[in-house]
Structure 1
Amino acid sequence: MASKKTIIKKIQIVLTKHFDSPQDAFNFFDKNGDGKLSKKEVVRLLKEAEINGFIRGLVGSKLIEGYDKDGDGKIDWKEFKVALKEMSRDVE
């Protein structure tokens, strides 16, 4: 299984190489436009980051569990920004 650091690095690569800003990435993966990323939308981001299909669902659940501060089962823009900041610290 890929390490946490490897997964975070792959996510960062997708967000920085394919999008002009984190907001653009968030909007792209927020397919239904509700301002929040559901587990399905997070899993789509992980697929773009080439995270193995076997662990994609698990990692998606853990990301939501770790960053969903308001308890709605989704990641909103504010929570997404916090996640990005924490992920960049974890890779350093």
Structure 2
Amino acid sequence: MEYPSNNPPPYSSGAPQQQYQPVQVYVANPPPPPGPTVVAVEVVPLGGRCGRCQLGVVREHFTLCGWLWAIFFFPIGLICLFSMRLNSCNRCGAIYN
């Protein structure tokens, strides 16, 4: 079909034609699961023997900080003194909570 030169071009909607560009999708790999968690637990051994050296005796004593609290904040400091006790071996010095 030919159009005469004095006729207008065929009707267009007025909106420019949209050009679609491909969407780039990036897939992030999830982080690997964490490895096993190792928890070292030292327990005060029964019978008072040291769990580390097997030769020493585990003794209970008060910390220096506990003594200072007891002296400077006398009645209430005694609570701190008794809550700040350590169990330690008299031979190898291993500290147990």
Q: TM-score range by the shorter chain?
A: under 0.3
- Structure 2 length-normalised TM: 0.23
The answer to which structure has the higher helix fraction is: 1
Select the structure with the greater relative contact order (CA < 8 A; seq sep ≥ 6).
1
- Structure of greater Rg: 2
The answer to which structure has the higher strand fraction is: 2
- Structure 1 length-normalised TM: 0.24
